[in-house]
Structure formats: structure tokens, C-alpha cells
Amino acid sequence: MRRTFLHLLRQGYGGVVLVGGDSPTIPASRLVEACRALRAGADLVLGPARDGGYYLVGLRRDRPPLFRRVAWGTAGVLRTTLRRARRARLGIRLLKPWYDVDRSADLIRLRRELRGRARRRARRTATLLDALENRLSS
């Protein structure tokens, strides 16, 4: 994650927003809000995931200590990142919570969501999951 931030920031981007691949149905409005927050001066933008991590992270500058030795995949990821950001006196913007797909219950929620309007936001994910479901049921 840090390497991606570094690479893009060194190319001259004024801010970078990364989204977890395990959150394919994030509303576009959250991405717009994250970009606007960075442009408005936030140093760090986080989209809290319901499991204690985050589905989105945005930065205006490289902040190496934020991501060092984080216990990824645990309920304390967001808390750890926020503590470090406050210690570094970063301007923080938190978005509304969303979910990521880490457990079977999350996958069930995603499948339900992809049967509705969210299918347009994640067509390829929906197609892949449909194919897997068809293969498993045959």
C-alpha cells in the first residue's frame, strides 16, 4: 500500500485514494467525498469498514509510520491508524462506514446486494460470483 502511495505521489499527484478490492460496491459518492476532502486540506481520509479496518484510505503526502507493523485483518486496524495519525497531528477526515468482504457473512451480504441496483457498480464481480454459484450448484 505504501509503495503505491509513494509511486503515485512521486509522479506529482496532489493526493491518492486507494480502495480495497474486497469492497466492490462502494458508492461513487464516497470516492468523490474522499477526493474532495484531500483537496480541501485533509492529510488523511479513511473509510471505516464495519469490521474495524477500512475500505478506503487517502493521503496527500507519504506518511510511513501509519502503515508500519499494522496487524492487518484485525479489528484494531482503524484504531491503530487513527492513533498514529493523531500523534502525527494529521488532519483526518472519516467517511461513512461501509463493509468489506472478509467473512462468509460479508459474502452473503455482497451476493444479496449484487442482485439489486449495486450490480451496475460491480458487474464483473457479480458475473464471477454468478459463475461460481452455477458451477457449485451443478
Cα(28)–Cα(129) distance, integer angstroms:
22
Find all residues with CB under 8 Å of 52, minimum gap 6, and list them.
Answer: 74, 75, 76, 77, 78, 79
Q: How many CB atoms lie within 10 A of CB 65?
A: 11
Which pLDDT tens digit goes with each residue over 106-135?
899 899 888 888 788 888 988 888 888 888
Q: What is the pTM of this model?
A: 0.87
Average pLDDT of the residues in 37-45:
97
Average pLDDT of the residues in 55-77:
89
Q: How many CB atoms lie within 10 A of CB 37?
A: 23
Q: Does the pLDDT of residue 137 top 90, yes or no?
A: no
